[in-house]
């Protein structure tokens, strides 16, 4: 509750720039739109609510600490000491390694969304160092491998590693499907995006990308059926929505 009380003034300021006409339904929809912007803004400016995003020290940097899972990095004794010092700093906070991993992952995810791939990769590696069973780190590192390193094969390895975990990552299928769509492999993307619609991470984006992938793969009828189920509205103005709507604009002709 305290988190929302702190967030409310920021949301009010941002939504005030949007023409809602005082309509409570529109104001609520506007708040949902700006919340993903407001939360990282607050976090970047030192707002850390207990239980949401506590501050966490960054481990001492060394060469290769932003390579996904430190692959190919031959760690020196000094590097290994930096790792152990970081683990010790988490324990000094009174946290378990699992909690430290989750907090590090959350910091890394915010950095990733901001396009700071170096910080994101370091945070994700540190999350994995604390808890190798945290499969969410593989999802994020897969995104980094593709977006920053332009290494689709390595990204797929990481997504596959996430899905093979006892508790798969929240975003693996959605992000794998996104990558396959960008790689112009829509038929392969479809299977992952179907599964992505049930993931707790970005399920709405997965549904929109599924529509695009189905149409790109030549299955217009299925794309139209998914679009009908989604029921696009006036607030669906993002890039994915526009592309999905464009691709299904002629669905009436198939009736």
Mapping DSSP onto H, E and C, the string for 208-222 reads HHHHHHHHHCCCHHH
Summarize pLDDT for 188-218 with one digit per residue, the tens.
Answer: 999 999 999 998 778 899 999 999 999 999 9
pLDDT value at residue 173: 96
pLDDT tens by residue, 95-121: 999 999 999 999 999 999 999 999 999
Rounded CA separation 28/82 (Å): 46
Last residue of a domain, one of 97, 118, 149: 149
Look up tokens 């332009």; give the residue: 150
Domain carrying residue 182: 170-255
pTM above 0.85, yes or no: no
List of residues 6+ apart from 85 with CB closer than 8 A: 59, 60
Average of per-residue pLDDT across 227-254: 91
The answer on 249 and 227 residing in a single domain is yes
Is residue 70 domain-shared with residue 50, that is, in the same domain? no
CATH number of the domain to which 216 belongs: 1.25.40
> Dmax of the chain from CA atoms?
68
The model's confidence at residue 16, banded by pLDDT at 50, 70 and 90, is: very low
Q: Is 44 domain-assigned?
A: yes
Please tell me whether residues 129 and 97 are part of one structural domain: yes
Residues 59/83, Cβ–Cβ less than 8 Å? yes
Is 127 within a domain?
yes
What burial letters (b/e) apply to 102-117, b meaning 16+ CB within 10 Å?
bbbbbbbbbbbeeeeb
Per-residue pLDDT, 46: 40
Work out how many domains the chain is built from and give that number.
Answer: 3
């Amino acid at each position: 509750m305290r988190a929302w009380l702190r967030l409310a003034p920021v949301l009010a300021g941002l939504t005030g720039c949007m023409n809602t006409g005082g309509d409570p339904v529109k104001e609520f929809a506007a708040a949902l739109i700006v919340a993903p912007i407001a939360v990282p803004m607050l976090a970047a400016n030192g707002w850390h609510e207990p239980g949401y995003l506590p501050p966490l020290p960054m481990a001492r940097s060394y060469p290769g600490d932003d390579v996904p899972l430190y692959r190919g990095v031959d760690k020196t004794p000094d590097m290994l000491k930096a790792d152990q010092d970081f683990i010790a700093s988490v324990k000094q906070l009174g946290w378990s390694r699992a909690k430290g991993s989750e907090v590090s992952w959350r910091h890394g995810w915010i950095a990733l969304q901001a396009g700071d791939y170096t910080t994101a990769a370091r945070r994700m590696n540190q999350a994995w160092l604390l808890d190798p069973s945290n499969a969410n780190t593989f999802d994020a590192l897969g995104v980094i491998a593709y977006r920053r390193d332009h290494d689709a094969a390595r990204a797929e390895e990481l997504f596959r590693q996430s899905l093979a975990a006892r508790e798969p990552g929240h975003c693996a299928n959605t992000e794998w499907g996104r990558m396959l769509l960008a790689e112009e492999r829509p038929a392969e993307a479809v299977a992952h995006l179907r599964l992505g619609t049930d993931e707790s991470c970005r399920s709405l984006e997965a549904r929109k990308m599924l529509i695009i992938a189905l149409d790109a793969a030549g299955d217009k009828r299925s794309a139209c059926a998914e679009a009908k189920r989604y029921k696009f509205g006036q607030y669906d103005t993002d890039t994915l929505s526009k592309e999905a709507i464009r691709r299904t604009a002629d669905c009436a002709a198939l009736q």
